[in-house]
Amino acid sequence: MSEATLSYVTEELVKSALVSDKGSQATLLSWSPESFTSKFDGHTSAISNIRVKYSLAGQGGEVSYVVKMNPKRGAQNDDFFGVIHTKECKFYSEIIPALNTVLKGIDQRPLSFPKCIYYNLEKGKEMIFLENLREQGYKMQDKALGIDAAHAVLVLKELARLHAASLLLQASCPHQDLADRFDSLKKEWTREFNLGCDFGTFVEGYLNIGIDMFEKIGGCDRLVHWIKKIKPQVWQMYEMQLTKRPPFAVITHGDCWINNLLFRYDDGDVPVDVKFLDLQGCRKASLATDLQHFLNLNVTGPARRPNLNTFLASYHAAFTSIMQAGGSDTPFTLEELRQEYKDKGFYGVLYSIMWLPNMVRRPEDARDILDSQEESKNSERENVLRMVETNPLLKPRLLSVTDEWTEYGVIS
């Protein structure tokens, strides 16, 4: 985190967070920041760990908060970052409490998100204080290596709980759509996108890199032809994937990838819990968009392909469990879920072509994927083409996705 960005974390804000967390009798003694993420872990937030020392009832204490902030204050695209940070703050302050109220009413545990301690929505200074899950033993997996079946099942069950809770919440107010109740859901980040171009142009740039990449990989003529064919209408095709259609329209995470997941393990190093992070892309859309994003980008081919039916069955069972606890039937069968997942295959393929090279690249090859300068675009293309020859993870991760969706007929 830069010193300029950090200057917006004032002592008054830290005091407000402490009081919100520990009560009005807590006295701030000192606080200090410490950046704990790689610059390549995320691109839409400046993130810092704030260590706070305090006194309460005559006793000293210490606590750690994670602070996420708008990283582009005063920049030309500040409005975009303001929108997505406001979406996240409102998800924590409005949507999660409403969903957890529904779950509490049917004797279910809360959703798996970090506790929101405090947030600020002052324009240009948007920030949110969260509990530091790393101090509770939660860890991030290596995005280059992806995750295995055990991790995947945990994530899918928690996504099912989020999605099902939103359907129960909708059922509790049938005459008001959740997107009208929570206005943050109406702000679709891809339509607010203004990082030097619109989102459709941004995607086309990555498809151009994809064409060069697959040509260099070789043996991908059908795939290259398909990318060239869909490129002129990619924005319209993407928008169609976001169409809200019952019974699959739910509140979705919107960006369920490995850096937005933290896992906790037992003594045998078996994953036993997962927490979701980063709600800047939340939206109301088909639940299959979350499944596509998660399974194609994060679960390696050897884990995903032979276990896909098991994964979808685990999701459906967890979804059904919440619906039944709420006195409702699951509005779709497992077979209908499988079909909806396949119908949203374009969503998973598109994100995989765009982001998998960034996920498997080595630190020395990394760059800021949101930099729209022409020189950086050329650098990205050169890096990706070099990775085809030097990075053994790139080709199998990509082809496991594109081969699968060629078989399903999405790539044709």
Mean pLDDT across the chain: 91
Instruction: Judge whether residue 364 has pLDDT over 90.
Output: no
pLDDT in tens, 8-57: 789 999 999 999 999 999 999 999 987 655 444 455 678 889 999 999 99
Instruction: Judge whether residue 371 has pLDDT over 70.
Output: no
Instruction: Judge whether residue 3 has pLDDT over 60.
Output: no
Supply angle C-alpha 43, 133, 256, rounded to 5. 45
pLDDT of residue 96: 97
The whole-model pTM stands at 0.93
pLDDT in tens, 43-66: 567 888 999 999 999 999 999 999
pLDDT of residue 76: 52
Instruction: Judge whether residue 219 has pLDDT over 70.
Output: yes
The label of the residue with tokens 């003529």 reads 221
pLDDT of residue 176: 93
pLDDT of residue 79: 78
pLDDT of residue 69: 85
pLDDT of residue 35: 62
Whole-angstrom distance, CA of residue 202 vs CA of residue 191: 12
Instruction: Judge whether residue 312 has pLDDT over 60.
Output: yes
The answer for residues whose C-beta is within 8 angstroms of residue 35's C-beta and 6 or more apart is: 1, 47, 48, 49
pLDDT in tens, 257-300: 999 999 999 999 999 999 999 999 999 999 999 999 999 999 99
Of 9-13, 202-206, 373-377, which gets the smallest average pLDDT?
373-377
Instruction: Tell the CATH topology of 3-130.
Output: Phosphorylase Kinase; domain 1 (3.30.200)
The answer for residues whose C-beta is within 8 angstroms of residue 269's C-beta and 6 or more apart is: none
CA-closest candidate to residue 371, choices 360, 358, 380, 362 = 380
pLDDT of residue 40: 41
Of 72-81, 244-253, 301-310, which gets the smallest average pLDDT?
72-81
pLDDT of residue 82: 83
Average pLDDT over residues 364-380: 60
Whole-angstrom distance, CA of residue 155 vs CA of residue 140: 13
CA-closest candidate to residue 277, choices 18, 121, 92, 63 = 92
pLDDT in tens, 164-194: 999 999 999 999 999 999 998 988 999 988 8
pLDDT of residue 355: 96
CATH of 133-407, one of 1.10.3470, 2.60.40, 3.90.1200, 1.50.10: 3.90.1200
Where does CATH 3.90.1200 sit in the chain? 133-407
Q: What is the dihedral of CA 201, 5, 362, 388, to 10 degrees?
A: 10
pLDDT of residue 73: 53
The answer to whether 397 touches 361, Cβ cutoff 8 Å, is: no
pLDDT of residue 89: 92
- 210: number of CA atoms within 13 Å, CB side? 28
pLDDT of residue 277: 95
Tokens of 368: 């800021």
Whole-angstrom distance, CA of residue 143 vs CA of residue 41: 9
The label of the residue with tokens 């602070």 reads 67
